[in-house]
Amino acid sequence: MAQSEGNSAIIGVGIDLADVARIESLLEKYGDAFLEKTFAECEIKYCKKCANPALHFAARFAAKEAAVKALGTGFSGGITPKSVWIENDALGAPTARFDAAVEKRMAALNAKNMHVSLTHLKDYAQAIAILSR
């Protein structure tokens, strides 16, 4: 039996697919300027120590896009690519963190949690974000 929309614990879902070659091209063309405009310091530090940094930056970029889709805002209303960042917990699982603009939007939606999952292959990285009560 389907739940009615009002009783659903899921408030929003977003998904994104990032082309690793595109992120690699942005890294080559803009370097640190691209990184500092798009990623949190912890993301930069984590990705730079990986064997293929572009792959991991692409996954985090996809997570940012998925998050703003789940919020229903895109990058607007004070929400920027740096408003959402991904940290790994003690077991290595990705965890979404966010700034005050995202917290404000989540409060307006009565969302308590943002769950994220990342995956990647050689050429593509994908992320999903789910907002829940």
Q: Structurally, how many domains does the chain consist of? A: 1
- In a domain, residue 46? The reply is yes
- The confidence score (pLDDT) of residue 1 equals 37
In a domain, 65, yes or no: yes
What would the pLDDT profile of 78-130 be if each residue is shown by its tens digit?
999 999 999 999 999 999 999 999 999 999 999 999 999 999 999 999 999 99
Residue with tokens 């930056």: 57
**Confidence tier at 2 by pLDDT (50, 70, 90):** very low
Question: Within a domain: residue 79?
Answer: yes
**Boundaries of domain holding 75:** 10-132
What is the pLDDT at residue 63?
98
Prediction pTM value: 0.91
Integer-rounded Cα Rg, in Å, for the chain is 15
The Cα 85–Cα 95 span in angstroms is 8
Q: What CATH number is associated with residue 92?
A: 3.90.470.20
Res. 8 pLDDT band, cuts 50 70 90: low
> Would 41 be classed as within a structural domain?
yes
Q: 128 in a domain, yes or no? A: yes
Whether residue 4 lies inside any domain: the answer is no
Query: What integer pLDDT is reported at residue 57 of this predicted model?
Result: 98
Residue 18: helix, strand or coil by DSSP?
Answer: strand
